[in-house]
Chains A and B, each alone.
Chain A
Amino acid sequence: MGLLSKKDAALIKDPLADNNPITIQVLGICSALAITAELEAAIVMSVSVLFVLGIGNVVISLMRNIIPSKIRIIVQLIVVAALVIIVDQVLKAFAYELSKTLSVFVGLIITNCIIMGRFEAFALGNGAWRSFLDGIGNALGYGVILIIVAFFRELLGAGTLLGFKVLGDPIEKTGVYAFGYENNGFMIMPPMALIVVGIIIWVQRTRNKALIED
Chain B
Amino acid sequence: MSNKTDSNLYTILFAIAMVVVVGGLLAFTASALKPRINNNERLEKQQNILYAMGVNANDESSAIFVSTDEAPELFSKYITKQLVIQGKNVTEDKEAYLIDVKKEQTSAKAGNARRLPLFVGVKDGKTYYIAPIRGKGLWDAIWGYIALDKNMVVQGAYFDHKGETAGLGANIKQRFFMDDFIGEDLMNNGEFKGITVAKGNNDPKNIEKNDNEVDAIAGATITGDGVSAMLKSELKQYVSYFKTLK
CA distance A37 to B218 in the complex (A): 12
Contact of B30 with A by CB under 8 A:
yes
Contact of A25 with B by CB under 8 A:
no
Contact of B62 with A by CB under 8 A:
yes
A66 surroundings in chain B (CB, below 8 A):
5, 14
- Give the residue among A35, A93, A158 with the most B Cβ atoms within 10 A: A93
Among B85-93, B108-116, B166-174, B184-192, which stretch is in contact with chain A? Answer: B166-174
CA distance A89 to B36 in the complex (A): 10
Given A69-B5, A71-B15: A37 and B25 interface contact (C-beta under 8 Å): no
The contact sample of 24 A-B pairs, CB cut-off 8 A, is: A37-B168, A38-B166, A65-B5, A67-B5, A68-B5, A68-B14, A69-B6, A70-B11, A82-B22, A82-B26, A86-B26, A86-B29, A89-B30, A90-B33, A92-B33, A93-B33, A96-B43, A96-B44, A103-B163, A104-B163, A104-B170, A163-B62, A171-B204, A188-B218
A82 surroundings in chain B (CB, below 8 A):
22, 25-26
Give the interface size class of chain A.
Answer: 35 or more
A110 surroundings in chain B (CB, below 8 A):
none
A75 surroundings in chain B (CB, below 8 A):
14, 18
Chain A: residues with CB nearer than 8 A to chain B? 34-35, 37-38, 40-41, 65-71, 74-75, 78, 82, 85-86, 89-90, 92-94, 96, 103-104, 107, 153-154, 158, 163, 171, 185, 188-189
- Give the residue among A74, A75, A96, A153 with the most B Cβ atoms within 10 A: A96
B219 surroundings in chain A (CB, below 8 A):
37, 185, 188-189
CA distance A189 to B218 in the complex (A): 9
Which of A35, A38, A86, A93 is in CB contact (< 8 Å) with B36?
A: A93
In angstroms, how far is the closest chain A Cβ from the Cβ of B5?
A: 5
Chain B: residues with CB nearer than 8 A to chain A? 1-2, 5-6, 10-11, 14-15, 18, 22, 25-26, 29-30, 33, 36-37, 40, 43-44, 61-62, 68, 162-168, 170, 204-205, 218-219
Extra contacts besides A82-B22, A185-B219 (18): CB < 8 Å: A34-B166, A35-B167, A37-B167, A37-B168, A38-B167, A41-B167, A65-B5, A67-B14, A68-B10, A71-B15, A82-B26, A85-B29, A92-B33, A94-B36, A96-B44, A103-B162, A188-B218, A189-B219
